[in-house]
């Protein structure tokens, strides 16, 4: 998920996405510990996506910006 896509999500959608990704990360870590993980590179992808979402949330909270709802015309 790209940063621009994350910025277009509402605050509640971001919180829901974080919760889903954290649950998935927990499950993958559990699979890694038991040796039954099918795609270990997914761990890295989820960690990075979580970091992107949290970074966008922090940016918005620091600047007080509202989430972007409309795409600018090119």
Residue 1: pLDDT band (50, 70, 90) is: confident
- Please count the structural domains in the chain: 1
CATH number at residue 32: 1.10.287.310
Q: Is residue 47 part of a domain?
A: yes
Predicted confidence at residue 11, as pLDDT, reads 92
Note whether residue 46 is domain-resident: yes
3-state secondary structure labels for all residues of 6-65: HHCCCHHHHHHHHHHHHHHHHHHHHHHHHCCCCCCHHHHHHHHHHHHHHHHHHHHHHHCC
First to last CA, the chain: 21
**What residue numbers bound the domain in which 32 lies?**
3-63
Q: 14-68, pLDDT tens digit by residue?
A: 999 999 999 999 999 999 999 999 999 999 999 999 999 999 999 988 887 655 5
């Amino acid at each position: 998920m790209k940063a621009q896509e994350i910025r277009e999500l509402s605050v509640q959608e971001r919180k829901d996405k974080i919760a889903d990704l954290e649950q998935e990360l927990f499950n993958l870590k559990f699979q890694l510990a038991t040796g039954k993980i099918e795609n270990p590179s997914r761990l890295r992808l989820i960690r990075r996506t979580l970091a992107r979402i949290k970074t966008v949330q922090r940016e918005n909270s620091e600047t007080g910006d509202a989430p972007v709802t409309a795409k600018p015309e090119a």
